[in-house]
């Protein structure tokens, strides 16, 4: 369950007590504050806090005293210019703090992004919940034959059912052992020592859920989203990145639109790629052999042109 009724009551109470402030407020972000967007079977992304809005990016770029806003159109143009020319520091003036509940194997990929601040749920201090990620059968696929880091054809229904049985059985067994190891009473009620939580957790599988608070500035968040909302990212982290994209699109719409245009939807060409494109525009037929590119580069170049 993404949030329990008690947690939902806390969220509702927080949303019921708005305060007046002199700080920049993004109406789009306010509507997300505290609410949990469900992700995967038990996970979520919750916006806990944010600093700044589209105007704050322009204010920083202009180093202005007041609001620094010229006009919406002017600000959008400036933000697009900053994004286009990789002027990143104005985007670092905005920050976002998220509460994320995610499987441990997704957390391992996520934590590689070092330019954020993280505080994770302590499984030394607290007992982990019996919550494991069980993929939807549509996500159960065979190893890709063309991409060592990806999935290929879907498993047959029989094979999917067998895999899910294994996953569920392993999760149940390891959690039962975990609970048994930390228990301070035996099955007959006699007291026993119980293993420390910090040790008992070691046999739990990587599909158990963890939680953290994650704070990052907008520039580094865009870097994260560029890599993790991409088709090459693993589905299980991509759905979190997609959920965050929805929040960011409402929080800083002009910055998000510029990011979606230049980074998410755009493509970077090498000097060789650019030269090939120029030759093609002049009517020349260019092939991989005459391009000066490797087979892999040519494949990616062709896919960029095909998707445009």
Ligand X SMILES: Cc1cc2nc3c(=O)[nH]c(=O)nc-3n(C[C@H](O)[C@H](O)[C@H](O)COP(=O)(O)OP(=O)(O)OC[C@H]3O[C@@H](n4cnc5c(N)ncnc54)[C@H](O)[C@@H]3O)c2cc1C
How many whole angstroms separate alpha carbon 299 and alpha carbon 106?
29
Question: At residue 165, what are phi and psi to the nearest 5 degrees?
Answer: -60, -45
Residue 118, SS3? Answer: strand
Q: Tell me: does residue 124 bind ligand X (CB under 6 A).
A: no
How many whole angstroms separate alpha carbon 75 and alpha carbon 254?
8
Q: Which stretch binds ligand X (CB under 6 A): 137-145, 187-195, 198-206, 227-235?
A: 227-235
Q: Tell me: does residue 144 bind ligand X (CB under 6 A).
A: no
Candidates 164, 167, 227, 264; binder of ligand X (CB under 6 A) is 227
Q: Site for ligand X (CB under 6 A): how many residues?
A: 10
Q: Which of residues 157-216 bind ligand X (CB under 6 A)?
A: none
Q: Tell me: does residue 114 bind ligand X (CB under 6 A).
A: yes
Q: Tell me: does residue 146 bind ligand X (CB under 6 A).
A: no
Among all residues, whose Cβ is closest to ligand X?
114
Find all residues with CB under 8 Å of 39, minimum gap 6, and list them: 2, 45, 101, 102, 239, 240, 243
Structure tokens at 194: 């119980």
- Residue 113 CB, nearest approach to ligand X (Å): 4
148 to 232, 293, 297: CA distances (angstroms): 11, 22, 17
Question: Does the annotation count 19 as an active-site position?
Answer: no
Residue 65, SS3? Answer: coil
Active-site residue among 162, 228, 238, 299? 228
Q: Tell me: does residue 233 bind ligand X (CB under 6 A).
A: yes
- Residue 78 CB, nearest approach to ligand X (Å): 24
User: In terms of Cα–Cα distance, which of 141, 144, 208 is closest to 174?
Assistant: 208
From the CB of residue 114, how many other CB atoms can be counted at a distance below 10 Å?
Answer: 7
Q: Which stretch binds ligand X (CB under 6 A): 1-9, 67-75, 107-115, 123-131?
A: 107-115
Q: Tell me: does residue 113 bind ligand X (CB under 6 A).
A: yes
Question: Which residue ranges make up the site for ligand X (CB under 6 A)?
Answer: 112-115, 149, 220, 223, 227, 232-233
Residues with a known catalytic role: 228
């Amino acid at each position: 369950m993404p949030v329990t009724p008690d947690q939902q009551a806390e969220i509702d109470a927080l949303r019921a007590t708005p305060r007046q402030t002199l700080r920049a407020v993004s109406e789009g972000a306010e509507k997300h504050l505290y609410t949990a967007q469900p992700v995967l079977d038990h996970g979520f992304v919750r916006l806990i806090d944010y600093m700044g809005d589209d105007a704050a990016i322009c204010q920083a770029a202009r180093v202005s005293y007041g609001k620094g806003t010229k006009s919406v159109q002017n600000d959008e143009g400036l933000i697009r210019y900053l994004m286009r020319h990789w002027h990143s520091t104005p985007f670092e003036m905005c920050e976002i703090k998220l509460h994320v509940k995610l499987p441990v194997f997704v957390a391992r990929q996520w934590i590689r992004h070092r330019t954020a601040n993280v505080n994770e749920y302590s499984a030394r201090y607290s007992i982990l919940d019996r919550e494991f990620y069980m993929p939807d059968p549509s996500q159960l696929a065979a190893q890709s034959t063309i991409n060592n880091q990806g999935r290929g054809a879907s498993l047959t229904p029989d094979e999917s059912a067998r895999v899910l049985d294994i996953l569920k059985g392993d999760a149940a067994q390891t959690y039962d052992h975990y609970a048994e190891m930390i228990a301070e009473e035996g099955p007959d009620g006699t007291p026993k020592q119980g293993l420390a939580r910090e040790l008992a957790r070691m046999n739990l599988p990587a599909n158990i859920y963890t939680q953290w608070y994650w704070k990052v500035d907008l520039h580094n968040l865009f870097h994260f989203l560029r890599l993790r909302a991409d088709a090459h990212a693993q589905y299980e982290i991509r759905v979190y990145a997609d959920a965050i994209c929805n929040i960011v699109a409402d929080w800083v719409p002009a910055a998000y639109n510029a990011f979606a245009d230049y980074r998410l939807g755009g493509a970077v060409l090498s000097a060789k790629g650019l030269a090939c494109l120029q030759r093609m525009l002049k009517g020349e037929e260019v092939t991989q052999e005459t391009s000066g590119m490797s087979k892999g580069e040519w494949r990616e170049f062709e896919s960029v042109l095909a998707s445009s």
